[in-house]
Amino acid sequence: MQGGEKQFAQIVIPSPLKEPLTYAIPPSLQDGLKIGMRVLVPLGNRKVIGVVVDFLSETPLKEVREILDILDEEPILDASLLQLNHWISKYYLSPIGEVLATILPSSLRTAGQRIILPRPGEFRVAGELERKILEEVQKKRGKVTIKTLARRFPGGGFYRALHRLASMGAVEIRERQIRKQIKKIAVKERSGEGPPEDSEKLCLTPEQQGALHAVAERLQKGGFETFLLYGVTGSGKTEIYLRAMELVRRAQKRSLILIPEISLTPQLLDRLQERFPDRVGVLHSALTSSERWTQWRHILNGNVDVVVGARSAVFAPVPNLGLLVVDEEHDSSYKQEEGVRYHARDLAVVRGKLLGCPVLLGSATPAIESFENCRQGRYQLLELTHRVEKRSLPHVEAVDLRTNLKGERREATGLFSHQLKEALQENYARGQQSLIFLNRRGYASFLQCRLCGFVLRCSHCSVTMTFHLKQQSVFCHHCGFRRPVRDLCPACGNLTLSRIGFGTEQVEQELFRLIPRARIARMDRDTTRTRGSQERLIRQWEKGEIDVLVGTQMITKGHDVTGVTLVGAILADLSLNLPDFRAAERTFQLLSQVSGRAGRGKEAGKVIIQTYTPDHYTFQHVITHDYKGFFASEIEFRRALNYPPFSRLVHLRVEGTKAQEVEAKAKMLVKGLRDRHKRDRKILEKIEILGPAPAPIEKLRSRYRWQVLIKGEKGPSLLEFANQAREILPPSRITRLYIDVDPYNML
């Protein structure tokens, strides 16, 4: 794009449009219009919201429609966010308008029906237009919408006038943008004071001091650099984040910290609020539309010093951003699996580079790609090899289920080994807390007839349905389909439908029998559906009101509960057997993280891992807390098969409601790609096409799925080649093509 006089504006509409649209700027709006502002523009017979990304002095277009109005007083997206928008579109092969829709909160990208109500009191209204709007709102007594008022007052300036009225509290806009919510948040003025005295009393270990010094040196010099803070669980990584953010605050700049799941880390929020009272902004998907709007505006206006949030918070409009932190940088939650399939950790690094500020990644089990970046000199490695206060890492024991459960009752098989049973009872008797990890929800994995072998499957997906005891129903955890169930087999009509396998619900029931007086709770998606339920469970856990907590991978992330001295992993092989080249890495990360929950207080910790493959290198390195040893084994496996970080991947998936049509289109796609592949010798040497093949879950939500994997060494040529898939397989009503760059989930 090129700059120029403000005769025309290039505007991105938050919809699947590939390029910006050009509109003429009417004379009445030329002085007030800036890049990054939202505007109201005509599109067909509709009026839509768009964002100005550039100005042009001329255009080759013969007919150009005019901008209708400016919606903001100041730009809502700065230059770096607009650059990031463009980068995401190019790298992830997504329409630029779809990327904008991902960045903007819903309340800022739609012009829906919003009711305007007058507020009580006397207000000094400076402009004539504001006075007329306020009079009209007071006359209608809250029975008027923005669209109605906009028609009542045509011409430029209406939305800016309405925004000024809302800002001064004269009117209230309900539904999507509740301005009064902004008034309720107390805003504390910035000061140049250092951190509270309590933070100064915390003595850093020599390793912590060294890591903080490296980050502080970069902050002082200025400029971009990526640090990987690799520290064992309990080594004090969070304290490094907080100290670095305090340094940024003293320099009159702001910080952004990403965490995998905001609702699971109340401890971090507590510590942030303690260090930065009333100066912490929060962004995550659990916020309502109005809450997200409120937080977004406060961040944009510079009313906070630190922004904390999950994946989408990487787009927070933080002014004067001086530091980006990504906690648990290895976590797969940072990968967006729908819409624009971005990775928030990678975008944080890109955003830091665009802004020229440091990025701090932290993990006890870094992603293989991140650690390799350190070896190649792209990132600077900072290490914390010991826990704070000289606490020891927990003792980890692997139990071989092949021999341990011989002679056990059949219904107990796979639940608790002798070692884990005894450890749970002893730990409860000592008044200590225990954590039981199983990455499978429900009571039984599936239902199968003992006579004819029939297995109850989802009607919409090619997967078995999980039995839930409390609801006496079977659920599909992929599409949400549910049906009540009896013992009667639908195939042969006999009362022989039996429960096979187990999940967290059955583990919970077995624990009640094993330790009858214990206070036992379960944390998975079934018990945390209601808003705030996750935080309530965690607060009870922290206060010692729960003796044994059973859960899925939710319980592995970032919790620091000093009373936990025993961790049990029921079936550690589950993630290891997935058809994914990252299976070993994910298993090591999950088990290392959940093991790290034990022994974080004065008492030593113990971990019991139940597995059918105790000799696998993954478990051997988990037992010894040896990430570097695991990395050495895993990197050779990746090198041998030419998988990341030695190559780049693009995942193409064809979906549709007709199985034969999807298969035919997938084969047509591969034929077209291979034809182009053969014509270009440069591509032939660098790119490999794998497939087509049915997806591991071939049918999902009533849609059939086939997939193709493209592997290459260099990103630009790989992306250019993958983008040709859209030309070979244009959009249709029957089938859809999805492109996932750097995929994390290929099931």
Give the 3-state DSSP-derived string for 97-141, with helices as H, strands as E and coil as C.
Answer: HHHHHHHCCHHHHCCCCCEEEECCCCCCCCCHHHHHHHHHHHHHC
Give yes or no for residue 179 having a pLDDT over 50. no
Do the Cβ atoms of 127 and 386 come closer than 8 Å? no
pLDDT category at 176 given cuts 50, 70, 90 is very low
Q: Tell me, what's the pLDDT at 487?
A: 77
Q: CA geometry: angle at 708 spanning 702 and 713, to 5°?
A: 145
Q: Tell me, what's the pLDDT at 701?
A: 85
Give yes or no for residue 298 having a pLDDT over 50. yes
Q: Tell me, what's the pLDDT at 201?
A: 54
The structure tokens 């002893």 sit at 426
Between residues 230 and 131, the one the model is more confident about: 230
Give yes or no for residue 156 having a pLDDT over 70. no
Between residues 272 and 123, the one the model is more confident about: 272
Q: Tell me, what's the pLDDT at 113?
A: 58
pLDDT category at 209 given cuts 50, 70, 90 is very high
Multiple choice CATH, 648-741, 3.40.50.1820, 3.30.70.1140, 3.30.70.600, 3.30.1160.10: 3.30.70.600
What is the CATH code of the structural domain delimited by 391-443+502-638?
3.40.50.300
pLDDT category at 187 given cuts 50, 70, 90 is very low
Between residues 433 and 499, the one the model is more confident about: 433
Average pLDDT over all residues of the chain:
85
Do the Cβ atoms of 622 and 575 come closer than 8 Å? no
Q: Tell me, what's the pLDDT at 411?
A: 41
Q: Tell me, what's the pLDDT at 186?
A: 45
Reference 588, options 568, 564, 617; nearest CA is 617
Between residues 669 and 466, the one the model is more confident about: 669
Neighbours of 284 (CB within 10 A): 18
Cβ partners under 8 Å of residue 609, min gap 6: 396, 397, 398, 399, 568, 569, 572, 591, 595, 619, 622, 623
Please state which of the ranges 501-510, 511-520, 677-686 shows the lowest mean pLDDT: 677-686
Phi/psi class of residue 625: alpha, beta or left (left: φ > 0; alpha: ψ in -120 to 50)?
Answer: left
The structure tokens 């207000």 sit at 123
Residue 548 CB burial class (10 angstroms; 0-12, 13-18, ≥19): buried
Give yes or no for residue 713 having a pLDDT over 90. no
Per-residue tokens: 194: 């250092």
Q: Does domain 197-388 have CATH number 1.10.238.10?
A: no
Per-residue tokens: 535: 């935080």
pLDDT category at 44 given cuts 50, 70, 90 is confident
Mean pLDDT throughout 470-481? 81
Q: Tell me, what's the pLDDT at 390?
A: 82
Q: Among residues of the chain, what percentage have pLDDT more than 90?
A: 46
pLDDT category at 331 given cuts 50, 70, 90 is very high
Give yes or no for residue 302 having a pLDDT over 60. yes
Q: How far is CA 302 from CA 165, 278, 307, 664, 728, in A?
A: 21, 12, 11, 54, 47
Single-letter amino acid code for the residue at 451: L
Residue 225 CB burial class (10 angstroms; 0-12, 13-18, ≥19): buried
Mean pLDDT throughout 240-246? 96
Do the Cβ atoms of 393 and 387 come closer than 8 Å? yes
Q: Tell me, what's the pLDDT at 516?
A: 92
Q: Tell me, what's the pLDDT at 473?
A: 86
Domain at 8-101, CATH class: alpha beta
Q: Tell me, what's the pLDDT at 672?
A: 92
Q: Tell me, what's the pLDDT at 196?
A: 47
Mean pLDDT throughout 145-151? 74
pLDDT category at 406 given cuts 50, 70, 90 is low
Length of the chain: 747
Give yes or no for residue 168 having a pLDDT over 80. no
Q: Tell me, what's the pLDDT at 213?
A: 97
Q: Tell me, what's the pLDDT at 263?
A: 63
pLDDT, tens digit, 9 for 90 and up, residues 646-692: 999 999 999 999 999 999 999 999 999 988 877 776 666 678 899 89
Per-residue tokens: 583: 């299976």
Q: Tell me, what's the pLDDT at 676?
A: 82
Q: Tell me, what's the pLDDT at 531?
A: 74
Give yes or no for residue 503 having a pLDDT over 60. yes
Q: Tell me, what's the pLDDT at 53?
A: 94
Between residues 163 and 12, the one the model is more confident about: 12
Do the Cβ atoms of 524 and 552 come closer than 8 Å? yes
pLDDT, tens digit, 9 for 90 and up, residues 409-454: 444 445 888 899 999 999 999 999 999 988 887 777 778 888 888 8
pLDDT, tens digit, 9 for 90 and up, residues 517-564: 999 988 887 777 777 777 788 888 888 899 999 988 877 776 778 788
Between residues 105 and 683, the one the model is more confident about: 105
Neighbours of 669 (CB within 10 A): 23
pLDDT category at 3 given cuts 50, 70, 90 is very low
Reference 723, options 685, 681, 671, 673; nearest CA is 673
Please state which of the ranges 219-223, 295-299, 317-321, 533-537 shows the lowest mean pLDDT: 533-537
Q: Please, what's the b/e burial string for 252-267 (b: 16 or more CB within 10 A of its CB; e: otherwise)?
A: ebbbbbbbbbbbbbbb
Q: Tell me, what's the pLDDT at 682?
A: 63
Cβ partners under 8 Å of residue 446, min gap 6: 455, 456, 464, 465, 466, 467, 500, 501
pLDDT, tens digit, 9 for 90 and up, residues 600-609: 888 888 999 9
Cα distance between residue 366 and residue 635, in whole Å: 13
Give yes or no for residue 254 having a pLDDT over 70. yes
Q: Please, what's the b/e burial string for 172-181 (b: 16 or more CB within 10 A of its CB; e: otherwise)?
A: bbeebbbbbb
Do the Cβ atoms of 651 and 743 come closer than 8 Å? yes
Q: Tell me, what's the pLDDT at 589?
A: 93
pLDDT category at 635 given cuts 50, 70, 90 is very high
Q: Tell me, what's the pLDDT at 142?
A: 60
Q: Tell me, what's the pLDDT at 456?
A: 85
Please state which of the ranges 205-219, 235-249, 468-482 shows the lowest mean pLDDT: 468-482
